[in-house]
Amino acid sequence: MDLRTEYLGLMLPHPLVAGASPLSDDLDGVKRLEDAGAAAIVLRSLFEEQITREQMSEYINLDSHGESFAEAASYFPSPHAFQMGPFEYLEHLRLAKKAVRIPVMASLNGATPGGWIEYARLMVQAGADAIELNLYRIATDPATTSADIERQAIETVRAVKKAVTIPVAVKLSPFYTAFAHFARELDLAGADALVIFNRFYQPDIDAEELTATRTLHLSDSSELRLRLHWLAILSGRVQASLAVTGGVHTALDVVKATMAGAHVTQMVSALLMHGPEHLRTVLADLATWLQEHEWESLAEMRGNMSLLKVPDPDAYERANYMLMLHSWRA
Ligand SMILES: Cc1cc2nc3c(=O)[nH]c(=O)nc-3n(C[C@H](O)[C@H](O)[C@H](O)COP(=O)(O)O)c2cc1C
């Protein structure tokens, strides 16, 4: 069965990629993902805040501006909150590249242009096959417009693209006013792939303690539907490759995402729940599904559910919304 796919200019034997997660935090984990059949691995993110802290501490050592540094640094998470510091990250990337044959992508996580982007170049030197740039940001300031947010994101993508020659994928949240337009702007800025979507880890409220509580729930397949919708809208409309992250658990999820236009399907929650070996099961199920449904390759189904075929997608979306609401009978 031909499951091959091209992503970020890399020819992959199939679309199952291990997304950014703690599963690749050590070399055993990286090798285990390769042994289980991952077509590529995305390492977890190195954050803008970690890099900025590192760069500021070098500056402090040089010029002893201790007080102003302490004030600014109070907003940053403590270095102990992270599994790896910037230097350890690069070293881990270098060793991971040596340990496996599959492509290893590094992940940078930041939302505004700045000196931290220098690390993109260091990731290339450490052997990264591509960079996944995660633009996670919650715009809380009412004075900041959607245009401001998008401009900063585009400038960040341009700066990373300028710093490196390897492909750059951009990982996004769905919370943009006109996502299709923003996706096209990212495309024009040179994003080689769009990774949709970041999960927003929604805090809860502890009503007794009057605190916000952080809980990390893993996904299930129901989260895929938001992604399918936007994949189908973007498929055929952007030059960038499309990756899906969020809610890919089974072979059928992979089939649906491919039909909606995904070139690769990243998995994290499913692998955390069932172990990396789950990749092998999904891969075998995928080949069986295609065979039983008489598809010769994944490529021939890619994007066959794209909204490009719909003459007026806006009207189609409204119609579906109305039909859905009126399908319910009391
Ligand atoms: C424990 C954990 C750590 C994660 N760390 C990162 C990270 O460092 N960078 C990143 O871009 N995404 C990170 N993610 C998000 C995943 O890469 C993925 O986008 C998300 O979990 C949705 O996919 P899933 O439904 O397959 O889990 C993390 C997810 C989990 C559960």
Query: What DSSP assignment string belongs to 60-92?
Result: HHHH--HHHHHHHHTTSPPGGGSSS-HHHHHHH
**Above 50 in pLDDT, residue 272?**
yes
pLDDT reading at 111 higher than 90: no
Q: So what's the pLDDT on residue 70? A: 59
Q: What number is the average pLDDT over the span 270-288?
A: 98
Å from CA of 30 to ligand 1 middle: 16
Which pLDDT score, from 0 to 100, does residue 78 have?
75
Question: How far is CA 41 from each of CA 17, 194, 220, 255, 276, rounded to the nearest angstrom?
Answer: 6, 16, 21, 20, 11
- Residue written as token pair 């710093």: 163
Evaluate: CB of 275 within 6 angstroms of ligand 1: no
Is the pLDDT score of 4 beyond 90?
Answer: yes
Q: Is the CB of 20 under 6 A from ligand 1?
A: yes
CB of 199 shorter than 6 A to ligand 1: yes
| Tokens describing residue 165 | 């020659």
Whether residue 261 contacts residue 255, with contact meaning beta carbons closer than 8 Å, is answered with no
Residue 195 has pLDDT above 90, yes or no: yes
Higher pLDDT, 264 or 75: 264
Is the pLDDT confidence value at 256 over 60?
Answer: yes
Write the DSSP symbol of residue 208. Answer: T
Checking if the pLDDT of 199 tops 80, the result is: yes
How does pLDDT run across 201-240, given as a tens digit for each residue? 888 999 999 999 988 899 999 999 999 999 999 999 999 9
Q: Which is more confident, 115 or 44?
A: 44
- By most ligand atoms within 8 Å of CB, the mutation choice from 23, 41, 43, 44 for ligand 1 is 44
Identify the band that residue 59 occupies on the pLDDT scale cut at 50, 70 and 90: low
For residue 301, pLDDT beyond 50: yes
Predicted local confidence at residue 170, as pLDDT: 98
Q: Which atom of ligand 1 is nearest to the CA of 216?
A: 31
Shortest-distance Cα residue to atom 3 of ligand 1: 21
HSE-CB of 23 using CA atoms within 13 angstroms: 28
154 lines ligand 1 (CB under 6 A): no
* Model pLDDT, residue 62: 47
Q: pLDDT, tens digit, for every residue of 128-180?
A: 999 999 999 888 999 999 999 999 999 999 999 999 999 999 999 999 999 99
* Mean pLDDT value across residues 23-47: 97
Number of alpha helices (DSSP H) and beta strands (DSSP E) in the chain: 12, 12
- Type of residue found at 170: V
The mean predicted confidence, pLDDT, of the chain is: 93
The mean per-residue pLDDT over the stretch 179-187 comes to: 97
The mean pLDDT of 7-35, rounded to a whole number, is 98
Which of 46, 92, 173, 199 gets mutated to test ligand 1 (max ligand atoms within 8 A of its CB)?
A: 199
Tell how far the Cα of 60 is from the centroid of ligand 1, in angstroms.
33
DSSP string, 249-283: -SHHHHHHHHHHT-SEEEESHHHHHH-TTHHHHHH
Q: Which of 192, 185, 163, 27 is nearest to 94 (CA)?
A: 27
Determine the residue of 268, 273, 278, 279 to mutate for testing ligand 1's pocket, defined as the one with the most ligand atoms within 8 A of the Cβ atom.
268
Q: What's the pLDDT band for 51 if we cut at 50, 70, 90? A: confident
pTM for this one?
0.93
**Residue carrying the six token digits 């990774």:** 195
How far apart are alpha carbons 8 and 68 in whole angstroms?
A: 42
Q: With a 6 A CB cut-off, is 248 part of the ligand 1 pocket? A: yes
Nearby residues of 255 by Cβ (< 8 Å), 6 or more positions away: 286, 289, 290, 301
Q: Whose CA is nearest to atom 23 of ligand 1?
A: 246
pLDDT of residue 322: 94
Strand-strand pairing, 5-7 and 10-12: antiparallel
Q: What is the torsional sign of CA 42, 44, 45, 46?
A: negative
The fraction of the chain above a pLDDT of 70, given in percent, is 94
Mean pLDDT of 186-208: 94
Q: What does the buried/exposed string (b/e) look like for 8-18 if buried means 16 or more CB atoms within 10 Å of the residue's CB?
A: bebebebbbbb
Say yes or no: CB of residue 134 within 6 Å of ligand 1: yes
Rounded to whole angstroms, how far apart are CA atoms 104 and 84? 17
Whether pLDDT at 57 is above 80: no
Residue 258 has pLDDT above 70, yes or no: yes
Residue 274: what residue type?
A: H
Ligand 1 atom closest to residue 220's alpha carbon, by position in its atom list: 25
